[in-house]
Amino acid sequence: MNSISHHHSIAIEASDIDFMGHVNNANYLTWVQEAVVAHWQKFAPSEAVADHLWVALKHEITYRKPAFLDDDVIAEVLLEKVHGARAFYSTIIRRGEEVLAEVQSSWCCIDADTLRPTRLAKDIVARFFGSKD
């Protein structure tokens, strides 16, 4: 079953530009985090958003092309699978049809009160894959 993709607009700031005149690679991590959290907030019920936090465990980034200050950039986020308290995401960062970067990341769901890893209920996970049950 395929997940529902989420498109997240990215605003490039002057402070994102490095000495080479393009976006510094470190900014891509911030973009991925913002995009994944926005994806969670879009599809999860509000009570689940309040009760759960996400922390990144691993990012693997393949940089394809540089981004520049005036570029219109979008991050397309896909939840690939959920296993226990872990979620595995694929994020493609694009300028139009051009792929700027591909990111595979894993995240841990944390209970907002205990700050301990926690599993998501199946009905919440189903929301990301186009089903409410």
Place of tokens 């990341």: 105
Q: Which residues contact 39 (CB under 8 A, 6 or more apart)?
A: 6, 8, 77, 79, 89, 128
| pLDDT confidence of residue 98 | 97
In the numeric block, which tokens belong to residue 57? 């465990």
The per-residue pLDDT for 1 is 56
Q: What is the pLDDT of residues 35-56, one digit of tens each?
A: 999 999 999 999 999 999 999 9
**Is residue 22 over pLDDT 70?**
yes
Contact 133, 124 (CB under 8 A): no
Select from 84, 69, 94 the least CA-distant residue to 5. 94
Tell which wins on pLDDT, 90 or 129: 90
Confidence label for 133 from pLDDT (cuts 50, 70 and 90)? very low
Question: Running DSSP on this structure, what letter comes out for residue 15?
Answer: G
Report the C-alpha gap between 97 and 67 in whole angstroms: 13
Quick: pLDDT tens for 82-125. 999 999 999 999 999 999 999 999 999 999 999 999 999 999 99
